[in-house]
Amino acid sequence: MSRYLGPKVRLSRRLGVAIVDLPKHTKFGTEFTAPGMHGFRKGRLSEYGIRLREKQRLKAHYSVLEKQFRRYMATAKKAKGNTAVTLQQLLETRLDNVVRRLGVVRSIWAARQLVAHGLVKVNGKKVDIASFQVAPGMTITFKEKIHKILRENMEGLAGHQLPTWMEFNPAAMEARCVALPMPEQIPFEINPNLIIEFYR
């Protein structure tokens, strides 16, 4: 499976938004400069460019590639209800993202590594697929050998806000999904309607 292996901060600078809540990404505030020694001259984006950039931001935040993102888009369109809400819920309830939202790791990439190494269990069974969809009622736990490292990570991430659609018991290192996330509960500002228009 292909994946992006280049510098992550470069993505934040190129897209003009911190794609992950890490100091080296957030230190720019709202004044992002383009990659390169001098950056590029900022020109006015076309209608197409605005929609493309919004789509690229969402992809980068969840670290998914185009082919996979298109599958999520197709699933959201087929589902009943609001396509924009469904798309965000599909991405937000990926197992690697759920692990990130718990605050036991610092980034989506670290969360994906935990999952890929078979250190995460869903309903008591090992799941090593990062794109696994977590549904309400499912329980997420971690192998005991990793508990110490996760607790150290949590100390370094003091002040992390647990999403209201999740419950987490740090003592037992056990979490449970209690509901599907709504757009206002997702800590990443995006305009999904622009993305839907991009794929029309």
Q: Where in the chain is the domain with CATH 3.10.290.10?
A: 94-179
C-beta separation of 113 from 136 below 8 A: no
Q: At what angle do helices 66-78 and 47-62 cross, to 10 degrees?
A: 100
pLDDT in tens, the chain (200 residues): 467 777 777 777 777 777 777 666 666 655 666 666 555 555 678 889 889 989 998 998 899 999 999 999 999 999 998 999 999 999 999 999 999 999 999 889 999 999 999 999 999 999 999 999 999 999 999 999 999 999 998 998 877 889 999 999 999 999 999 999 999 999 888 898 999 999 88
Strand-pairing partners, residue 167, are 176
Statement: 94-179 belongs to CATH 3.30.470.20: no
Answer whether 59's CB lies under 8 Å from 65's CB. yes
What is the CATH architecture assignment of 8-91+189-198?
Orthogonal Bundle (1.10)
pTM: 0.86
